[in-house]
Amino acid sequence: MYRLIRNSHLFLGLFSFLFLMMYGFSAVQMAHPEWFSNKPLVNETAETIAPMMDARQASRVLIDKYKWRGELGQVTVRREDIVFRVLRPGTVYEVTYAPVSGATKIKTNVANWIGMLNRIHHIGGLWHEFSLINVWSGFVALVSVSLILIAFSGICLWFKLHKERLIGSVLLAGGLIYGLGLLVLLRLT
């Protein structure tokens, strides 16, 4: 049983490693944005599409016409126009559509790889219109479950190795105090 737990612990850790490194790197980028160049390339165009559509219909027309990949998000209705975004990690198409005339302004923001990592870091949920985001969300869910299993298997392994109990106790208590301390500090500020 020890061997199975040890091997599971190892393989789960190896599986989770790259995801955790990506999240760690993007967290450093968010904490210290001045260290990284994160300015997107911006392109603006204008055109006319069919009038009298809602945001979902207009986005579908533009997605089909320009072969965009992504999902509709952040719809805002103003007096004379509708503003919406079609999003995918690293690229945002911001569209201002006038339903009366069909006049459409498209602003495209394309981020570099650091900007894409930043956006991937913020993806939440499992059900998106863009299938690659669903795949990513599935992997994040697997990594989350893996981290829980790594913690439990680590504690089981720790009980099997009598020589390591003292250092294990210190590390476990230190990690618990550090984590709970951060949670308390975040709630107080």
Measured CA distances, 181 to 63, 151, 171, 172, 185 (Å)? 47, 19, 15, 14, 6
Model confidence pTM above 0.85: no
Q: What is the pLDDT of residue 123?
A: 83
Using the predicted structure, report yes or no on whether residue 189 has a pLDDT greater than 80: no
- pLDDT band at residue 56, thresholds of 50, 70 and 90? confident
Could you give phi then psi for residue 155, rounded to 5 degrees? -65, -40
Bridging pattern class, strands 71-77 and 41-48: unpaired
Average pLDDT over residues 131-138: 87
* Pairwise CA distance, residues 23 & 20, whole Å: 5
**The token pair that represents 45 in the structure block:** 């165009």
Is the pLDDT at 17 greater than 80? The verdict is yes
Phi and psi dihedrals of 99, rounded to 5? -65, -30
Tokens for 22, please give them. 């990506």
- Please determine, for residue 142, whether its predicted confidence score (pLDDT) is greater than 90: yes
Please answer whether residues 183 and 52 qualify as being in contact, where contact means their C-beta atoms are separated by less than 8 angstroms: no
Q: Which residue has the tokens 């904490």?
A: 31
What average pLDDT does the chain have?
88
Q: What is the pLDDT of residue 156?
A: 85
Instruction: Please provide residue 83's backbone torsions phi and psi, each rounded to the nearest 5 degrees.
Output: -110, 130
pLDDT in tens, 163-176: 777 887 888 899 99
Q: Nearest 5°: phi and psi at 32?
A: -130, 70
Round to whole Å and give the CA distance between 23 and 175. Answer: 19
Percent of the chain with pLDDT over 70: 100
Rounded to 5 degrees, what are φ and ψ at 185? -60, -40
- pLDDT for residue 79 is more than 90: no
- Parse the chain into domains and list their residue ranges: 2-34+132-188, 40-111
The pLDDT value recorded for residue 133 is 85
Task: Please give the pLDDT value at position 110.
Answer: 92
Q: Is the pLDDT of residue 35 over 80?
A: yes
Helix (H) or strand (E) holding 163: none
Q: Tokens standing for 147?
A: 């981290």
pLDDT given for residue 178 in this prediction: 94
